[in-house]
Amino acid sequence: MSGFPILDLVAGFIFIYFLLSIISSAAVEMVLTTFKLRAKVLEKWLFTVFGETVSKEIANHPSITALSKKDKSTSYIDAKNFATVLIEKIAYVKSNELQVATTLFELSEAIKTSPILPPNLKRAFLVYAAEAKATFEQVKEIETNVETELSLFRTKIENWFDSSMDRVSGSLKSKYTRLITLVVSAIIVGFSNADSLCLAKYLYNNPSARIALAEKSYATGLDTANINQFLAKQKVALEKAKIDSLAASVDSIQKILKDGIATINTTKAALESSIPLGWTKQECTEWKNNKGSYRIGKLSGLAITVLAMMMGAPFWFDVLNKIANLRGSGKKPETSS
């Protein structure tokens, strides 16, 4: 309790949005995993950069494919594996299948004549090769255990791939994630009846509930252990998605969905212990009998909650930290080892 009812009310609302956003994030992750939308976006990037034939060869390479379907990309590709596959494809010579580029000069010559790279990408890779050679020449004068020219070039390819994946993630977010988050949030809010206006009235008229909810929000904001408790399962599910979706097996997808459901149930229980959720018989009757201003007000309250959930759990946790610090009590001291 802060001594300021309005501050407690705001903190309580942020805590509610934070928990609802966790439920939304877990549900969205389940949708992305089930429909393999990450794989589709990554597959489109490979096709755009390398063309249909080469993109399929990369997707089918043993270093990448795992158990995904033929000619289909996995959801995630490790940058090191991608660099290995790309260099292998560039240096491939039909007359000698076991020939590999052992020096940066050989690889540069292979890049110039490679049939799989478009001209602009050839020029970019040749620039990387020149930069790797220059870096090697500078560093070897002052360090004895310096990386080889080829390893420096590999690092540049990996960095290029990682930066490309950042843009691919942005494309995934703009094309799928935002829309799915909006739909999922609307469904969650609609079924849970998480009306911001009604919740504000409830918390304002029930000081004990407001104070209890505010204390939970302050504890979450000032204790990093609490945020780990709320987000741990979600993070674990995401990491498992990065690994298990490489196999794209039914068992791995089911495990991701199971973890998501567990996160939703845990967070839902935390919400229901703090505020009344769901449609009561009285509210259903009021919705049926009242029209006009009542329905507009109800839909407005639900829409506010949906828009708040679109901001995401990390955003509301950061805001919660700032609100909690307004009490002036400071951060909870670290536990000594």
Q: Which residues pair with 85 in a beta bridge?
A: none
Sign for the CA dihedral angle at 169, 170, 176, 180 comes to positive
d(CA 83, CA 160): 10
Q: What is the pLDDT of residue 289?
A: 87
pLDDT, tens digit, for every residue of 200-239? 988 888 888 888 888 887 776 555 444 555 455 455 444 4
Q: Which residue positions in the chain have pLDDT lower than 50?
A: 95, 224-226, 230, 233, 236-250, 330
Q: What is the pLDDT of residues 43-55, one digit of tens each?
A: 899 999 998 888 8
Please tell me the distance from the alpha carbon of residue 10 to that of residue 75, in angstroms, as a whole number. 39
The structural domains of the chain, with segments of one domain joined by +, span 5-38+170-325, 39-161
Nearest CA to 246 out of 84, 90, 133, 82 is that of: 82
**C-alpha to C-alpha distance for 205 and 1, rounded to whole angstroms:** 16
Which pTM value belongs to this model? 0.75
| Calculated CA dihedral for residues 23, 29, 35, 41, nearest 10 degrees | 140
Counting residues of the chain whose pLDDT is more than 70, the rounded percentage is: 78
**Confidence (pLDDT) at 244:** 37
